[in-house]
Amino acid sequence: MRWLAWVVTLALAAALLAMAASGRPGNVAILLPPYRVDLSLNFALLLLLAGFTLAYVALRALNLLLGLPRAAALFRSRRRMQVAAGALHEAVMHLLGGRFRRAERAAMRAGEADAFRPAALLTAAQAAQAMQAYERRDGYLDSLPESARETGTLLQAQWQIEAREPQAARTALRRLSGGMQRRTQTMRLALSAARALNDHAEVLRLANALRKHHGLHEAAARAMVHGAALGLIRQTSHDATGLDQLWKSFDSELRRDPQIAVAAARAQAGAGAPARGRALLLDALRSPQAEPSALMPALRGMLGGIDPGFVALAEGWMDRWPQEAQASFLAARACAELQLWGKTQQYLNKALEQCQDDERRLRGQVHAALARLHERIERDDQAQRHWRLAAFDLTSEDLGGA
């Protein structure tokens, strides 16, 4: 149908042109002394239109003729770019497929085009690294243009971490610009280096940053943060003031972690500040998500210097966790510290009733505590009975520290 529309359009145009020409009887006189040329107006207009068309076609032809060298150069440039792009694609596919020598050769072909040279050199360097051709690898990195040097440094740091040279990797990463250091891959490499160097403060900072920006799996980030916090507590365990500052620097999630709280409390006690350690555990027990089975065993070893108010607090925990043997045992130890022997025996017996079948060690510790209590009040027969029961549940080492 399209051709029919064109035919109709041309027919209408011809008819309109004929109608317009028939109504113009005028002449055009061209004087070229000693000649005179007379033309009809329609024929003059036709000649003018034909002349314009010929001039336009001639100019276009001349322009195309003069532009042939430039067009040929553009064609050759595009062809080189296509060949280089194909070679770079081939190099990447060979690299991912484990054909490193072919990848290196294809990358060198791709590097002949300036636009692909940085990517080609980086690909060739990766292939040379995989083949342990370190001299060629370093040569490729040295040939990188300035705009790609930081990417090369990032690759080099990754190789150094794989080669177990974390200090060299850290030094390389610290030479990067601020924007490059904030990238996810850079922080991941810095985290690997910090973990290898046991730099727990840096691990804690980087793991939290990556966790915030979803650069690490949640479980992996949580485990790294947890391990780094424990490492920092161990490093600061000799300094009670330093432990206080460290504890304040932890976020609320870390301070609620039972293992972190117990480690910090024991470190405070080891640094000569048991009251501070006890305060940490008391604060952790106030949390709605507190785990008494994890916190109370540590608290039992930090009861020196308590007052009657602590006994009331321990009795409140017995009401909060009515089926928890650890709460009753802690209340008993607090009463023993204040020499309230009647309550001590009452709470120890209650703890024995609450002990589950899988709490054998705790049951043995309660029997040992009852044995000591009966020895103190000179009930040797009862003491011997509880010592025998404790021996069933505890090793000799546990008996000494129960």
Mapped onto helix, strand or coil, the DSSP state of residue 162 is helix
Residue-level pLDDT at 98: 92
Q: Locate tokens 């990358």: which residue? A: 107
Whether 144 and 117 have beta carbons less than 8 Å apart is answered as no
Whole-model pTM over 0.85: no
Give the separation between CA 346 and CA 373, rounded to whole angstroms: 11
Residue-level pLDDT at 256: 87
pLDDT for 89-125, tens place per residue?
999 999 999 999 999 999 999 988 888 999 999 999 9
Please give the helix or strand (H or E) that residue 32 lies within, else none.
strand 27-32
Residues of the chain with pLDDT under 50: 396-397, 399-402
Please give the helix or strand (H or E) that residue 226 lies within, else none.
helix 218-235
CATH code of the domain occupying 304-402: 1.25.40.10
Q: Tokens standing for 161?
A: 């971490």
pLDDT for 154-167, tens place per residue?
999 999 999 999 99
Q: Tokens standing for 266?
A: 């024991």
